[in-house]
Amino acid sequence: MKSIRLYISKHKQQLLIFGITVVLFTAFLFGVAHDYNFYPSSIAKVNCVSERYLKSEKGPNGEVEKYYVQQITLTIKNGAEKGRTAESENTYSSSCVNSEKYQVGDKLFVTIKSDSGKLTAEINGVKRDAYVAFVAGLFFIGMVFISGKQGLLTIVSFCVNIAVFVFSIILYLDGKNFIELCLLMIFIFTVTTLFLTGGFSQKTLGALISTFITLSLTFLIYKCVITFIEKPPYHLMDYIFVPRDLDSIFLAGILIGCLGAVMDVAVTVHSAVNELLRTSKNITKKDLIHSIREIAYDVMGTMINVLLFSYISGSLPMIVLKVLNGYSLYSLVRFNIIFELIRFLVGSIGIVVAIPISGVVSVLIEGRGRTKC
């Protein structure tokens, strides 16, 4: 008890800030959850749901999929009919692949029809903004609490990068040349991210140069592979809306995807070499190379796993759906997840190539600085 009191009196300020943050965050979430009046379309909250069994359907492998009908009562939350109740019906299947099961408390976008005084609602979608706000808020608070000013700067660089990204795509849709936009985009991404999070120093400049060299080399390697060996089947890509520039869009996706990882490696190697040269002035070239290799071992394996998991996990539901629909592993790898795999492999090559390049660049830059003094 005493120790708790002592802790409180010692960390009064931090606890106060923490308390204020929690209160503000809760208020923010409450606000987002009740922002019905900002939406032009009608929103309704599910009040009560009753279900009945509809039918069973046979699946491709003899599974039995059950279908249910939900009778939903909703309370309308905005617009002219605010506060009134409406009825709706919804069919869902037990796996929810292209149907949705609604629960009491869900908030839905609806179209309301009046039929001799009785209101019926047609469900158009789910209101998910509260979840987005919840996760984004947690991320923001955590970043600022754990890494303070640096965390805030990272978030600022995110916002700038997203704005640049969206703006360049708008320009592209207006008919600008995609490759030029893409080069510009990569340049701005790298510069803002490195300088905002790393500060302006020789180290950051070195990391910037290494990142650009690595990206160009990765691009060359990819270009060689697709010219001399095989072109990926671009027409099988997901979400195609116009069949132009598919190859450069995919390439841009690859390069931007591995940009983060390459910058990570470059910053790590540059700080380490900087630290080594600072602490031991008379380090030999051989020792330096040895140390860089040592860092390489540590970085490589786990960094590649970051890319593996973040690329492949996203397509998991589609893969399971296709496996159950009788796709073989070979055809999945050959035609369906090939783009994720190429992205992953080229990204990993980028990570591996970044290590020696960052090493050489950092030794050149720091070494030159050393002879000057």
Partner 1 sequence: MLIALGILLLVLMLAIGGERGGRSFAALIENIIILILCIYLISLGINAIVITFVCCAIFTSITLIQQNGASIKTYASAFSVIIVICILSILAGIISANAKIAGYSELDLSEEISRYLSVNIHISMRDLVFAVIIFGLLGAIMDTAIAIASAITEFYNNNDSLSFKDLAHSGKAVGRDILGTTVNTIFFAGIGETMMQTMLFLQYGYTFETLVNSKAFCMELSMILISNIGCFLIIPTVTFITSTLLTSNHIYAEKIREYIQQQSKD
With binding defined as CB under 8 A, does residue 324 bind partner 1?
A: yes
With binding defined as CB under 8 A, does residue 238 bind partner 1?
A: yes
Shorter beta-carbon distance to partner 1: residue 354 or 365: 354
With binding defined as CB under 8 A, does residue 49 bind partner 1?
A: no
Number of Cβ within a 10 Å radius of residue 6: 10
- The nearest distance, CB 358 to partner 1, in angstroms, is 11
Tokens of 275: 């630290």
Shorter beta-carbon distance to partner 1: residue 46 or 112: 46
With binding defined as CB under 8 A, does residue 355 bind partner 1?
A: yes
- The nearest distance, CB 17 to partner 1, in angstroms, is 17
Contacts with 313 (C-beta within 8 Å, 6 or more apart), sequence order: none
Number of helical (H) and strand (E) elements in the chain, helices listed first: 10, 5
Amino acid (1-letter code) at residue 272: A
* Calpha distance 313→308 (Å, rounded): 8
Total binding residues toward partner 1, as defined by CB under 8 A: 124
Binding mask 8-47 for partner 1 (x = CB under 8 A): ------------------------------xx--------
Tokens of 77: 């939350």
Binding mask 50-79 for partner 1 (x = CB under 8 A): -------xxxx--xxx--------------
Taking CB under 8 A as the criterion, the residue among 229, 235, 243, 285 binding partner 1 is: 229
CA dihedral 253, 254, 258, 260 (to 10 degrees): -10
Taking CB under 8 A as the criterion, the residue among 1, 52, 117, 230 binding partner 1 is: 230
Mapping DSSP to helix (H, G, I), strand (E, B) and coil, where does residue 81 land? Answer: coil
With binding defined as CB under 8 A, does residue 170 bind partner 1?
A: yes
- The nearest distance, CB 373 to partner 1, in angstroms, is 25
* Calpha distance 317→333 (Å, rounded): 15
Shorter beta-carbon distance to partner 1: residue 249 or 365: 249
Shorter beta-carbon distance to partner 1: residue 99 or 114: 99
**Which residues lie across from 87 on neighbouring strands?**
73, 120
Tokens of 233: 């089947």
In the numeric block, the tokens 């394996």 are attached to 301
With binding defined as CB under 8 A, does residue 273 bind partner 1?
A: no
- The nearest distance, CB 79 to partner 1, in angstroms, is 15
Taking CB under 8 A as the criterion, the residue among 88, 193, 210, 274 binding partner 1 is: 193
Amino acid (1-letter code) at residue 5: R
Tokens of 276: 């080594």
Q: Is 117 left (phi over 0), alpha (psi -120 to 50) or beta?
A: left
Site for partner 1 in 77-136 (CB under 8 A): 93-100, 103, 106, 109, 125-129, 131-132, 135-136
